[in-house]
Amino acid sequence: MFFRASLFGAFGSSKRWLGTNADGTTRPLEKIDFYKAGAMTGFVAAFTEGPIDFYKSQLQVQIIRSKQDPAYKAPYNSVLECVRQTIRTNGFRGPFQ
């Protein structure tokens, strides 16, 4: 939900910014403006989707491993614990590595 909200918000803001002239007046968007807005949205998506997918995959891997090996002890009990340990180990850039 957060990811989709960031995409729609970024796309709407990008279109609004591209459609506003320097003097504050608005203009209709051209075809190239939609491509620019999409590129700006992709930039925002890289910073929101990356951590979401990283933490999701960390939890999915431990679920798969615990089904394959009954002796496996999962390192994370929750998403919050996964976030904490990642930041503690790798800093805030951890989910982007």
Contact (Cβ atoms closer than 8 angstroms) between residue 55 and residue 78: no
Task: Give the C-alpha distances (Å, rounded to integers) separating 43 from 10, 11, 23, 28.
Answer: 9, 11, 27, 23
**pLDDT beyond 90 at 32:** yes
CA distance 76 to 92: 18
> pLDDT band at 11, cuts 50/70/90?
very high
> pLDDT band at 64, cuts 50/70/90?
very high
Contact (Cβ atoms closer than 8 angstroms) between residue 69 and residue 62: no
Q: DSSP letter for 30, please.
A: P
